[in-house]
Amino acid sequence: MKSINENIKPTFLQNVDMMLNDTINCINIDPNIAKILKICRSVIQVKFPVKINGKIEIFYGWRAVHSSHRLPVKGGLRFSLNINQEEIEALASLMTFKCAVVDVPFGGAKGGLLIDPKKYDDESLEKITKKFARELIRRGFLSPARDVPAPDVGTSPREMGWILDAYKSSRPDDINHMACVTGKPIEHGGIKGRLESTGKGVHEALKEFFRHPEEIKKSNIKGQLNDQKIIIQGFGNVGLNTAKSLFEDGAKIIGVSEIDGAIYNKDGININKLEKYKLENNTIVNFPNTKKININNDLLTYQCDILIPAALENVITLKNVDNINTKLICEAANGPISYRANKRLNEKGITIIPDIYANAGGVAVSYFEWIRNTSHIRMGRLSKRYEENRGDTIINAIKHLSKENLPQSIINKLVYGANEEDIVSSGLEDTMRMAFHEILKYKEKYKLNNYRMAAYAVALKKIEKSYLELGI
């Protein structure tokens, strides 16, 4: 890639490429593989008409496949006015690396529709979504075996249900039709825990970091996770569920920001009450017992121990990086830190848990959902009663050997068989823990000075192996 003029602000795609290049220059990787990973293998733009309230409107959408070294490819669909093809390509490349870091056997993809979903009623939005889906289906960019979308900015289980319906009607003979999309409603093949998975994955990433005293020490952090003061930028699905998971585990969240403003309380914010307040008022501003912060006053620069950007890309740039006042940044959003800002933060000694690891909980649980849909069986169905019966046997053995009565709380745990939600939660925790161990291993192996480069190294070496084994 050509060098970027220092006076020109790099694009999101250029930021991703430069971060990738930094890692490639530090590890031994096949130069041909490196060339492949710097491009999107295929990108499609669709333009399609939809009649809305008696008038024809033209909509623009994209789907980008960065790497198909493993199939299907995986990546969300976002509905927003702030997207373009280059952004979609950048997000697709991040998905490739994200899947590799957490050992999800998918390639990377991303899609987007240029639309303000708030402008349309439910009936119109359903019509638009299904038309977009059919355009992708016809061109081979949506199927259980090749390309599986998921919710992203501006989309939710509702839109995924509409896409599923469009696919089912277009491919009625595909017995795996439910696997054409993940993040669906539970009633239509979705899996419990998927909606919260990205946010819970961020929490699991932080928990795993705090299980390593030597890493905490290097970051000049004192105490454990629940001793830290946390600020979260963004209160959509990812930010909300990150905040809820942390709060329910006892963490102190002192600041939350949204598109229309921010709130702050040095003694902590009750996230459950804040969620209810937002549902009732459609804003977090003026939440009781908090200081209102105007939109122009960046909460990102407030002093805290852990900063969690959980909204959009490039929110920390050269414009505000020198005012960032935290010890640890955990990237819940995709690409929230620009390349140059990332370098500046590294120089300042601020630890960054990178996006391709920290927010990979969503794709990990999407994988579980896809497996559930292709296997046509609920997770835990074959083992739940066996586990409960085994627990009963253990209790009976203890009663036979001892005159002491076991507390009921212990009995309940012993005879409890894991349900699907328990299995998903366990799988998510294991995924995040094992991935961090790999990141630490590669950080040491290649003498890398930050987690981002180590995470990229993990991904690159796995993808390199896959390409070489298959033939480039």
Q: Which residues are catalytic?
A: 110
Whole-angstrom distance, CA of residue 226 vs CA of residue 58: 50
Task: Give 20-23's long-range contacts (Cβ < 8 A, gap of 24+).
Answer: 20/93, 20/97, 20/456, 22/453, 22/456, 23/448, 23/453, 23/456, 23/457, 23/460
Q: Where are the beta strands (DSSP E) in 273-396?
A: 291-293, 306-309, 328-330, 351-353
Q: Which two tokens stand for residue 43?
A: 């990108």
Cα angle for residues 229, 232, 233 (degrees, 5° grid): 145
Contact 121, 96 (CB under 8 A): no
CA distances from 57 to 54, 112, 155, 162 (A): 10, 17, 20, 20
Cβ-based neighbour number of residue 302 at 10 Å? 21
Q: What is the CA radius of gyration of the chain?
A: 23
Task: Give bridge partners of residue 344 from the DSSP assignment.
Answer: none
